[in-house]
Each structure stands twice: as C-alpha cells, then as structure tokens.
Amino acid sequence: MAYRLKVNGERRTVDAEGDTPLLWALRDELDLKGSKFGCGMAQCGACTVHLDGQAVRSCSIPIEAVKDAPITTIEGVGASAIGRTVQAAWIAADVAQCGYCQAGQIMSASALLASNPSPSDAEIDAAMAGNLCRCGAYLRIRAAIKLAASKLGGAK
Amino acid sequence: MSATVRDAGAGLSRRTLLTVGAAAGGGLLLGVGRAAAAGTAFQPNAYVSIAPSGQVSLIAKVPEIGQGVRTSLAMLIAEELEVDLADVSVVTAGDDMARYGLQLAGGSATIRLNYQAMRQAGAVGRVMLVEAAAKTWGVAASECAARGGKVTHTPSGRSLGYGALTAAAAQLTAPDPNTVALKDPAAFRVIGKPQPNVDNAAIVKGEPLFGIDFVLPGMLYAAYEKCGVFGGRPKSANLDEVRAMPGVKHAFIVDGDGDIDSLGGGGVAVVADSWWRAQKARRALKVTWDMDAAPDQDSARWEAMAKDLGPKTPAHILNARGDAAGALKSAAKVVEASYAYPFLAHATMEPQNCTALVKDGKVEIWAPLQGAYRARPQLKKICGAADKDITIHYLRCGGGFGRRGASDFVAEAAKISQMAGAPVKLVWTREDDIRHDFYRPGGWHNFKAGLDANGRLTAFTDHFVTFGRGEKFAPWADMEGDEHPGGVVDHLQYGYSLIPLNAPTGTWRAPRSNALAFAMQSFTDELAHAAGRDPLAFQLELLTPSRKLPRMPSDLPAIYLAPGMDTGRMAAIVKLVAERAGWGRKLEAGRGLGLAHWYSHFGYFAEVADVSVGADGVVKVNKVWVVGDVGGPIVNPAGADQQVKGAVIDGLSAALGQAITLEQGRVAQGNFNDYPLLRITDAPDIDVHFHVTDNPPTGLGEPALPPVAAAVCNAIFAAGGGRRRTLPLNPARTG
Ligand code: FES
Ligand code: FES
C-alpha cells in the first residue's frame, strides 16, 4: 500500500506495508540513511527523528501511524536555525567518535532546544537519557548542547 | 629507556623504506613502510599523493572504527609535509595485506607502529618539493622554506604551490627517510594540538558513511536465523510459507561448516526486497534444529563448578617463583578472597552487517571491519575463490571494540549472496548481535596472599578458574604468568583450572586486562586494608624500587608484545593521580575514593574513582580522575581525551550493569533493556591528564579501560559499602 509522507518538507510516497517502521521506510524506501538502526525497540535513540517537532524513535512507529505529521530527519534538520546551530556545535565540540549514534543525539538535542532554549544539566540529561552512545561521548554531548544553547541566545 | 621500548617490536626493524614515483595525472606518490624480513618484498604501509591541484591524499591502511585514525595519521603527514590539515584528504584502503602488511584496527597499535614512518614520509615529500622549487628557480634549497602547501624563496619572496612542483619533484632522487631531518617537536604546528575529527562535517549531516548504509544497485536484503544454542544446525523449516510473504525473493537453509568464525552450524536465510520485509518474514519462520546433545552450557552450572574448583589445587601451573606455600605458612597474616566477573558482549552501536556480491567466481565485500585477516581465508574456503578474485572494502565502523575482526557475518553474507545469485546486504538485529558474539570470557580468581609483621606483601597466589579444554585456555580467557603483582612478589604461584566451553570468546576492548585488572587491583587494595595501611602507600611500595620487569614468554603476535612493566613509570602516575584527586581528604559518609592502576598495550594508567553508595546498595560514580603515560607527544590531544573518556565510560558500563549469562545453552540477554549501556544520566565527570614522557608514543583505544572497575570497587569499600568481589555491581533490572 502507498503512504504519502511529509519528509523534510517534501511529499514522498512509500510503497510498503502499514506496519513498516518509519525507520526502515526512511532508510530503505526513501534512501535517507542518516537515521540509524541500533536496537529496534526504542532503547537506544539511534533512529531518532522529529515527528511534528517532537523527538521520537522511528524504529517503533509504523508508517500507518504517521498520517499527516511532518517528519524531519538528520538530513533535513539543518534547514532550521536550531538544527543548524546544533550541528555546528557538534562540530565545534568535536563530539563524534565512531559517529554512529550522533544523528540521533543531534535530533534529540535539537528537539530539546526547540522546547527549552536554556536547559539545565538535569534537563539535558533527562532529554538525552534515551540516546545511548557506545563510544561514551556523553561529556562532549552535554558541552555541545550548552554551546548550541548559548549560540541561540538561551544559555544561562 | 626509550631504546628498550623501541626494541619491543620483537626483532622487527624500525627502518623505514620508501618508494617514490609519479602519481596518475602527474602528481607525486610516496609509499612508506617498514622493512620486512630480509629477502621479502617491501610493503608500504601507507601512500601519500600530492596531485597537480595541490590536493594531498593519504591512503590509510587501518580501518576507522571511531579511534580517530583517519585524523591522527593525517596529522602526522600534515605536520612534516607542511600542509594544512584541512588540505589532507584521507582515503581508507581496501583489504590488501599482500601490499600493506597486517591491516587491523586493534591492540592500540596504529600510532605506535606508524608515528615515525608517517613523519618520515611527510619530511621526504617536503624535502623533495623544496628541492624541486630550488631547481626551478636556480637557487639554493637552503634559501627556500616550505609552509602551508607552498615553497617560498625567502630572499626574493617568490613562491610556488606544491601542485605546480609535483612533476619536477617526481624526477628527483628521494632522500633516505631514516636520515631525513624531521621537524623539531618544539616547532610542531599540528601534532600535539587538538584537532577535530576530519569526518565531523559528514557525520553531523547524517551522510551514509557506515557499513550499514552501503547500497548496491539491484541489491537484496537478508535476515538470518541461527540456532540460539551455539553450533545448532537447521534441519527443516517452513520455507514455502515464508517464501509466500510480501517482498520475499528467497528463503533457504544455509549449511554450516562447523567453524564458529565462519558459517558455524548454519542457519536459515530470508532474502527480500527490503530489510524490514526480510525480517518480518524471518519472524514467521518455524525451524527445527539439530543439536549434538542436550545443551549443558549454563552460567549457573559454571558458577557451581567454579565454586567447587576454587579451593582445590589448580590443574595447571602458569608460573611459580620462590616458595609460595612455605611463605604463606610463615606469614604474619594470610588474606584469602575470590573474585568473579561475567561474560560480556560487544554491542557495537552499529549491529554487524555486510554487503556481498558473489558471482562468477568473484567475491566482493563491503563491510564495517576492523580487519579482514580472518574473513579473507574464510571467503576463499566458502566461495571457492582465489585470493585475487576477492575484494574487500573497509567501510566506517559504528564502533569496533574487538568485535569486528571476526568473520562470521562476512561469511554468512557471502554464502547468502552466492546462493541467492544476487548482491545481498545482511543486517543483524541487536538480538542477533548480542546472542551471537565472541564474548569476553568470564572468570573466577581465588587469591591467597601473605603479609609480614610490617604489613609487606611476601607471597601471592591465584587459582584462576576460567574456560578452555585440556590445558588450553579458550581464546582470550588466559592470563600471563606475571600479571601484577606477580612480577614484584618474592613468592608467587599462578595456577589455573579450565571449564569446557562451547560459546565463542574473543577480543573485547583491552583483552584480558579488562578483567584481570579488576580482580588483581581490587585484591591488592584489600591487602592494603588487611595490613592496616593506606592503599596508596601499599601500591607504591610494590612499585619501589623503580625497575623494568622482564617480560614473560607469550603467544601474542610480535607487534603486540610489550616490554615488561617499568615500575617507575607507573609509580610516577600513581602519585600524580592521587594528588589530582586529593587522595586522603575526608568525604561525607557513604562516599569514598578508590585507587587502581594497570599497564597494558604499552600504556600506563592510574585512576581514582569518587563513588557514593546509596542506602539501597546502588553504586553511583561521581567522578573519575585519570592519569596516563603513553609516552609523547600526544599526537591528537582532542582524540586522546575522547579515547580515554570513552574507555572509562565503557569500563563503567560493564562494571556497573553488564553480564551475559547462558541458560541451557542460550544467551539470556538480547537487547539494551537487559544488557544496559551506561546512559548520559550516569556519566560521571572525568578528569584526564597525560603525563608526557620521552618514551615513543603509543595508542589509546584500550589501556585507559582496565583500572576503572577496580578503582570503583576500592572506592565502594572506602565508602563503607563493603568489599565487592563480583561484577556487575548494579545488575540489570529488565525494563
Ligand atoms: S533503533 Fe530505535 S531506539 Fe534503537
Ligand atoms: S560516537 Fe560511537 S556510538 Fe556514539
């Protein structure tokens, strides 16, 4: 069955079963490989995208549930000032090691800053707790979020 | 001192050889490497080319797994060649060991083995480009200087970019790389200065860099079901039913080859036009498995066997010195304790995957691998292909940690592609990954030590119970005969007994040391307390006087053989870390500091943990101080800081929460809900300091990990939380 999805500002058609997880529709049907597969059960955050501006785990959302909600992926997040700033902060803070988890981290961080421009340490930890990093880049992730917040004018 | 370390390559000459030639399109090509054994052909380790456009390219033979090798190797070239780091592009080589020698991201070896040679290559290039410019202008080379990718004639101010000089330089005779003048480290502009990861821009945009992102035209996707019991073989399956499911193109049984690093017992492949469809159809599989015997591999059973064996005489002796039994008898105090640690899985963030195209006798592989030295021979066997018909591309790895030197997933993808007659991408689920790993083997240490009336260590014995057959340890389950404090005690006995194992074991970040340091350094702390002494003073006493310990004979490949510990280097950083952490200061009730150190992979690390123990016994790590001596310089301080912090977090992840257990032959865990990774909420502050010494630089992927578990356990004891002798400390609550 064909589903019309709004991905990164474009209408895209996905011809797949309704129970196909959004992650696999993005990766294999739409060739957007930035969202990553890590666990398939909402445990690791590697697949995080924005659905209606909220950070969600795309591995655990079937495409039939998406309906009209706009989807933003790591490939499109740079179109917003917040996304661009977070990406730049990730480069400036030199966060990535292997880099595999970082798309998901950036999506969670940019959703956090969109709703809370000046998060405290505890708020950062709470918002990022669903994103695992096997390489252990957590300290730089915290630093990068603070840097992005200050660039966006919201830092405390 | 540095001479000793240099010779530690166990007879490998450090002489660098170089080939120079014209690159395609008129550029300059330098091939660098170390002399091979006499009479064998020279194999360059790396190639550097300078294109007529001025673009510098480095072909790195070692795969990128997050250790930052693409960045650090580029830095070495940029420094000596006098170009900006931003102007060096790095291309990861394909597998070609005939050309490059061993290609492996492992053992924290890349910087140790390449620091000198890469600098020499850059310097040779610089000297040749300067000479080419001098010739062009008819001036003396000594009047010319290279900087920022161009040569300037200082008196006249004329300058030429490298690109314009490559053709002329390629005609010159290259200077001897072993005598070419290297830059004075005081003048370094790139080395020793923090440099961001060269791949950052691509990573933050989500570009398809990783193995799992690879696509071939016309490619199909495979999901693969194996028996949960290691070695189990598929007998029959409802293949027709599965073939009728949406998108499924093939479903078939893959026969095993009995080799756990290859096809093992075999499995059932489902090949479809998308991975999700393949996986969904796989879930509908009903497979009957053939097993040799009722599965007896079980953690509870092993636990009981180890408890039974522990007090008995070791079946085999690893090392004995002096008279341990006599010394224990005459000791003023004897301390006994048993320590245990579990199996661990790697759980690389990117699950294992591989894209294969096997057709007409040719094999092509695209995979996130740390090395293909195991995969290539398997491919020859499975596909019946000749070496020259096998091409292996190294794609970026979403983490390695020792998992991606194995070839099981490569063998499976190749076989499935061959049988399906199509290019196939095999992607494992997280559950496949956790249940079919090469695990860090578990073990039990039964220690006895003697202290004299002054609280000094006189005798030390360990009955190590782990896995293996006969007297042969399971892969990476072994220990050396001189694990510290084995090298410094007068009366020693290290013995072992083995429990037969059917599960695969392998390298896991800082193999062996990751477990041994926990047991040895925790028990050493225990001894200090039993002696009524400060653990810092007790540890330092064992390292005094400063001496270089001999190395035990070992089965390790020559390039990984480190010299024995230099106790002076260790004592220096133990003191330093204690100072930085404020050792001896008073902390509130329920909070304590713990100290541990370990020498592994040529690197010296000492760590102090600040830990709180809750009323519920739950352990929280507040801060970790790390001091390392990996020689000098620290090539990329930014990358080094990441590797150390990552290693500490990795060590904490394992110590706090991780355990793989087998229940009736099957791994009980499957995903991050029951095999937890440390989350950001539990990530402590980490203070990293490098004690730079004039020893040759060595790598950092591993040696910072081993001390952390013991430092935490020793801190728990100091906090009044009792002596914790079993890992993990906060066992997983399934959630
Ligand atoms: S893959 Fe979606 S949360 Fe792990
Ligand atoms: S950078 Fe490797 S998993 Fe986060």
pLDDT digits (tens, 9 = 90+) for B111-138: 887 888 889 889 999 999 999 999 999 9
Looking at residue B735, what is its pLDDT? 37
DSSP secondary structure, B247-291, as one string: TEEEEEEEEP-S-TTTTTTEEEEEEESSHHHHHHHHHT--EEEE-
Taking CA atoms, what residue in A is nearest to B649? A136
Looking at residue B13, what is its pLDDT? 43
Contacts of B294 (CB under 8 A, 6+ apart): none
Q: Quick one: A65 and A42 in the same domain?
A: yes
- CB-CB neighbours of B668 under 10 Å: 15
Query: How far is C-alpha B503 from the geometric centre of its chain's CA atoms?
Result: 21
Let me know if residue A107 belongs to a domain.
Answer: yes
Angle of helix B707-718 relative to helix B513-530, nearest 10 degrees, comes to: 30
Find the mean pLDDT for residues A68-93.
Answer: 98
Which has more pLDDT, B616 or B272?
B272
Distances (CA, A) of A132 to B204, B435, B578, B606: 16, 20, 31, 27
CATH number at residue A68: 3.10.20.30
On chain B, the residues whose CB falls within 8 A of the CB of A75 are 205-206
Q: Assess whether the C-beta atom of A78 lies below 6 angstroms from ligand 1.
A: no
Q: Quick one: A92 and A60 in the same domain?
A: no
Q: Quick one: A64 and A31 in the same domain?
A: yes
Instruction: Note whether B490 and B327 are within 8 A (CB).
Output: yes
Q: Quick one: A86 and A137 in the same domain?
A: yes
Distance A12 CA to ligand 2 centre (A): 30
Find the mean pLDDT for residues B66-93.
Answer: 89
Q: Indicate the pLDDT class of residue B551, thresholds 50, 70 and 90.
A: confident
Interval B678-729: pLDDT, tens? 999 999 999 999 999 999 998 888 999 999 999 999 999 999 999 999 999 9
Contacts of B635 (CB under 8 A, 6+ apart): B72, B75, B76, B111, B115, B191, B192, B697
> Which atom of ligand 2 approaches the CA of A134 most closely?
3
Q: Which ligand is nearest to the CA of B400?
A: 2
The two tokens of residue B296 are 């007896």
Query: How far is C-alpha B8 from the geometric centre of its chain's CA atoms?
Result: 19
Q: Quick one: A144 and A93 in the same domain?
A: yes
Instruction: Note whether B374 and B381 are within 8 A (CB).
Output: no
Structural domains present in chain B: 3-186 (3.30.365.10), 299-344+439-551+559-718 (3.30.365.10)
On chain A, the residues whose CB falls within 8 A of the CB of B650 are 134-136
DSSP3 helix / strand / coil % (chain B, rounded to 5):
30, 25, 40
Let me know if residue A125 belongs to a domain.
Answer: yes
Q: Assess whether the C-beta atom of A37 lies below 6 angstroms from ligand 1.
A: yes
Contact A20 B212 (CB under 8 A): no
Tally of domains in chain A: 2
Whether chain A has a CB inside 8 Å of the CB on B349: the answer is: yes
Interval B223-241: pLDDT, tens? 999 999 998 999 999 999 9
Confidence (pTM) = 0.94
Q: Quick one: A68 and A30 in the same domain?
A: yes
ipTM for the whole complex: 0.97
Q: For a substitution probing ligand 1, which of A27, A56, A57 has the most ligand atoms within 8 Å of its CB? A: A57
Which H or E run includes B717? helix B707-718
Is residue B28 pLDDT above 50, yes or no? yes
Let me know if residue A12 belongs to a domain.
Answer: yes
Domain end: A54, A72, A90, which one?
Answer: A72
Taking CA atoms, what residue in A is nearest to B652? A136
CATH number at residue A92: 1.10.150.120
Preceding amide of B485 cis, omega within 30? yes
Residue that has been written with the tokens 């405390």 in this structure: A156
Taking CA atoms, what residue in B is nearest to A48? B206
Q: Quick one: A124 and A65 in the same domain?
A: no
Domain end: A17, A44, A72, which one?
Answer: A72
Looking at residue B109, what is its pLDDT? 76
Looking at residue B699, what is its pLDDT? 85
The span from the CA of B42 to the CA of B35, in Å, is 6
Whether chain A has a CB inside 8 Å of the CB on B733: the answer is: no
Let me know if residue A112 belongs to a domain.
Answer: yes
Is residue B294 pLDDT above 90, yes or no? no
Find the mean pLDDT for residues B505-529.
Answer: 97
Q: Quick one: A87 and A58 in the same domain?
A: no
> Phi and psi at residue B263, in whole multiples of 5°?
-90, -5
Let me know if residue A23 belongs to a domain.
Answer: yes
Find the mean pLDDT for residues B388-396.
Answer: 94
Interval B35-61: pLDDT, tens? 555 545 555 666 888 988 888 998 888
Minimal Cα–Cα distance from A68 to chain B, Å? Answer: 22
Let me know if residue A156 belongs to a domain.
Answer: no
Q: Quick one: A29 and A63 in the same domain?
A: yes
Q: Quick one: A13 and A48 in the same domain?
A: yes
Domain end: A72, A104, A121, which one?
Answer: A72
Looking at residue B34, what is its pLDDT? 63
Looking at residue B4, what is its pLDDT? 24
Query: How far is C-alpha B43 from the geometric centre of its chain's CA atoms?
Result: 24
**Spatial CA neighbour of B510 closest among B685, B339, B319, B643:** B643
Q: For a substitution probing ligand 1, which of A20, A24, A43, A108 has the most ligand atoms within 8 Å of its CB? A: A43
Is residue B560 pLDDT above 80, yes or no? no
Contact B204 A106 (CB under 8 A): yes
Distance A43 CA to ligand 1 centre (A): 6
Looking at residue B11, what is its pLDDT? 31
The span from the CA of A140 to the CA of A148, in Å, is 12
Distance B459 CA to ligand 2 centre (A): 44
B 85-114 near A (Cβ less than 8 A): none
Preceding amide of B545 cis, omega within 30? yes
| Segments in B421-467 forming alpha helices (H) | 430-435
> Which atom of ligand 1 approaches the CA of A43 most closely?
3
Contact A133 B349 (CB under 8 A): yes
User: What is the domain range of residue A29?
Assistant: 2-72
Q: Quick one: A86 and A147 in the same domain?
A: yes
Is residue B8 pLDDT above 50, yes or no? no
Interval B567-611: pLDDT, tens? 999 999 999 999 999 999 999 999 999 999 999 999 999 999 999
Is residue B2 pLDDT above 80, yes or no? no
Q: Indicate the pLDDT class of residue B469, thresholds 50, 70 and 90.
A: very high
Minimal Cα–Cα distance from A24 to chain B, Å? Answer: 6
Distance B699 CA to ligand 2 centre (A): 19
Find the mean pLDDT for residues A96-120.
Answer: 97
Looking at residue B36, what is its pLDDT? 53
Q: Quick one: A81 and A144 in the same domain?
A: yes
Instruction: Note whether B114 and B76 are within 8 A (CB).
Output: yes
Instruction: Note whether B146 and B82 are within 8 A (CB).
Output: yes
Let me know if residue A122 belongs to a domain.
Answer: yes
Let me know if residue A45 belongs to a domain.
Answer: yes
Q: DSSP letter for B82, please.
A: T
Looking at residue B5, what is its pLDDT? 22
Q: Which residues of A65-91 are buried (b: 16+ CB within 10 A; e: fewer)?
A: ebeeeebbbbbbbbeeebbbbbbbbbb
Q: Indicate the pLDDT class of residue B95, thresholds 50, 70 and 90.
A: confident
Minimal Cα–Cα distance from B347 to chain A, Å? Answer: 8
The span from the CA of A94 to the CA of B477, in Å, is 36
On chain B, the residues whose CB falls within 8 A of the CB of A139 are 645, 683, 685-686
The span from the CA of B714 to the CA of B259, in Å, is 41
Q: Which residues of A114-127 are buried (b: 16+ CB within 10 A; e: fewer)?
A: beeeebeeeebbeb
Q: Assess whether the C-beta atom of B646 lies below 6 angstroms from ligand 2.
A: no
Between chain A and chain B, the number of residue pairs with CB atoms below 8 A apart is 179
Give me chain B's average pLDDT, please: 92
Instruction: Note whether A127 and A119 are within 8 A (CB).
Output: yes
The pairing of beta strand A10-15 with beta strand A54-57 = unpaired
Q: Which of B213, B275, B646 sits opposite A136 (nearest CB)?
A: B646
Instruction: Note whether B193 and A89 are within 8 A (CB).
Output: no
> Residues of chain B with pLDDT > 70: what percent?
95
Is residue B403 pLDDT above 80, yes or no? yes
Find the mean pLDDT for residues A102-124.
Answer: 97
Looking at residue B397, what is its pLDDT? 94
